Every structure is written in structure tokens, then in C-alpha cells.
Amino acid sequence: MSLTHRRRFLTLAGASLAAPALPRLAFADAWPKDKTIRAIVPFSAGSTVDIIGRIVLDPLARQIGQTMVVENRGGAGGTIGSAAVAKADPDGYTVLVNAAAHSAAPAAYPQITYDPAKDFSAVAIFGVVPNVLMVAPGKGIKTAKDLAERAKSGDLTYSSAGVGSATHWAAERFRLSAGFKATHIPFRGGPEALTEVMTGRVDFCCIGISSSMSLITDGRLLPLAVSTLRRSAALPDVPTTTEAGFPDSDYNFWNGLLVPAKTPQPIIDRLHAEVQKALALPEVKAKLAPQGVEPLPLSPQEFDALIAKEIVSNVKLAQAAGLKFN
């Protein structure tokens, strides 16, 4: 083959190899088209994930010039809604608003039909929310140590937003550190779990500030400790669970945006940039502050790495706590 023919062959071959990528790149460049974007929240309306998600999605929709419709698909610790997104077309028109329950799913539900790491691409974290250890004022429990002592003398109950949810995991970390047994009573979302504690039918819970703050302010729930390493600006007088004397009881309750795996990288990058822009808006900051949301700015790649790391640590937590799941 002559040098001229060889060069022509390589040029044509290179063009043919690049051709399959062109449609995807062209599609990504055209995104978003005039088409509604579905945002699946795998927990009930009024839950921490739902509240924070709506605060961020509203300006995000304005910025990209498209309607974003929130669909609440609660149940099974967030796995029902997540499974729907995992099967959706990776075209940027179906997104998932989830929390740390996303990386806990494999430990809580070994039979789930999707892989939280491989079937999703992480986009951006909205922030980290302190979970609050709470009881009804009428229980006569004033501190986290009081709760631990009460639990050791009798089998207490605790509620959560579902098996494997961040509210479940946060309570388990506290229970494991405190060294007591308690009966877990899961619900479809945070509001239902809070109601049962508020009425005294369930003894305690460890749920995000976003969904519990109004009940704390009204005096219907008593905060004993927060699950973060540092005190929350929203509840400055409430100690952390670590300060209260329970080592390794902190829990990282992040909330953020994910998309189906194989979503074109330009779409992921655009969404990431627009989320950062929305989080920087004064109106958004003003709404997130009372929710106790603290920033955790990670790139999509760093967010993916965090999820992979948490999947491993959650399996270890479930084994250490002796949790038995179906």
C-alpha cells in the first residue's frame, strides 16, 4: 500500500470509528430540548429529600429553561423510585433526587434489581443535612445518654423513613455506638415516622432537620443530639452524638442529584454547573439555611467515588450491627 493510500485509509478508518459518538455528542449539545424533565424523589412528599430537592430544582428549571416535574415514588427505603430511574433512558430527561440511602441500598436490599454505583452517574450534592435524634417531650428523656440508659433497661422502638434509608442508618449508628437493642419500625417517609414519635407510639427517631424543624420549634419533639461531626447552625444548642459520648455515631446524610448511567457527559457537566449556580443564589441559600443544610461541593467524579466508598462501609455497618434483611 502506497503512503498516500495508507494515509487515506487511516483517515477513513478514524472517521468511521468516531461516527458512533457523533449522534450522542450532537444530542448532548441539543439538550435540553422543549421537553419536560422528570425528577423522581424516592420518598414521600414532605420528607427531607423532597423538601431540599424542590428548593434546588425550582431555580434549576428556570436556569435551563425547562419544566421539571417532581414525582414522589416512596417505599422500600428509596429503592422503588431509584429502580425506575435506573431503567430510564439516559437522555437527561429523567433524573433522581436521592440521599445517602442510595449507597445503603445494597446492604439493606441484597435483591435489588439495580446497582447504585454502576447503573447511575452522580451529578451534584445539594448539601449535607444533620439527622436529629428526637423523642416526644412526654417520654421524660432529656439527653442522648438518658435515651441509651432507658433503652438498656427495656426494648424501645424507633421509626425511620424505610429500611435502608438514611434515617434508618443514622439511628443504627447511634444504637450500635450506645450498645443497646431496639425494634425498628419503618415507614414510607419521614413525616409518617415523625408523627409516630410525636404521639409517643414510637420511642425515638433520628431524622433530618428539614422535615423535623417545625415540630422541634413547636415543642412537639425534643432534640437530643445531631448526627454530624459538628453542631448544626440550625440547632446550635444541641450537641452532636459524638459530643454526647457516643464515638463513631456520626452519619453523613447527603442529598443530591443523579442520572441513569450512560447519560452523555456533556449533559452531566451542564447539570452539575447549573446546580452549583442554583446553590449560590441568595434565595436558595436563605431557604436551605433553616433546613440545616451544609455545603459539600464535590465534582461528579468525586461524588461517584463517595457512593462507591459508602456502599462498602454500609455493608460493614449492617454486619457489625447484626442487621437482618430480606
Q: Tens digit of pLDDT for each residue in 51-87?
A: 999 999 999 999 999 999 999 999 888 999 999 999 9
271's enclosing H/E stretch is helix 265-279
pLDDT of residue 266: 97
Can you give the pLDDT at residue 324?
66
**Residues, the chain:** 326
- Tens digits of per-residue pLDDT, 290-309? 888 989 999 999 999 999 99
For the chain, which domains are there?
31-129+253-321 (3.40.190.150), 131-226 (3.40.190.10)
The DSSP symbol for 220 reads S
Q: How far apart are CA 77 and CA 203, in angstroms?
A: 20
Residue 247: what pLDDT?
94
**Looking at 126-130, 272-276, 281-285, which range is the least confident one?**
126-130
pLDDT at 252: 86
Check pLDDT > 70 for residue 19: no
Asked whether the predicted pLDDT for residue 27 surpasses 80, the reply is no
Residue 325 has pLDDT above 70, yes or no: no
Cis peptide before 32 (omega within 30 of 0): yes
For the CA atoms of 319, 298, 128, 174, what is the dihedral angle to 10 degrees?
A: 20
Strand ranges for the chain from DSSP E: 37-41, 68-72, 94-99, 120-128, 131-135, 156-160, 182-186, 204-208, 222-226, 254-260
Mean pLDDT within 271-287 = 97
Query: Using an 8 Å Cβ cutoff, are 290 and 167 in contact?
Result: no
The lowest-confidence range among 23-32, 81-90, 160-169 is: 23-32
User: Which residue has better confidence, 77 or 15?
Assistant: 77
Average pLDDT over residues 94-102: 96
The pLDDT of 93-105, averaged and rounded, is 95
Residues paired with residue 257 on neighbouring β-strands, in sequence order: 97, 124
Instruction: Report pLDDT for 110.
Output: 86
**Residue 204 and residue 184: Cα distance in Å, rounded?**
10
pLDDT band at residue 160 under the 50/70/90 scheme: very high
127, amino acid identity: G
pLDDT number for residue 28: 54
Which pLDDT band holds residue 326 (cuts at 50, 70, 90)? low
What pLDDT sits at residue 14?
Answer: 41
Q: Mean pLDDT in the chain?
A: 89
- Say how far apart CA 124 and CA 229 lie, in whole Å: 22
Q: Which residues does 111 contact at the CB level (< 8 Å), separation at least 6?
A: 326
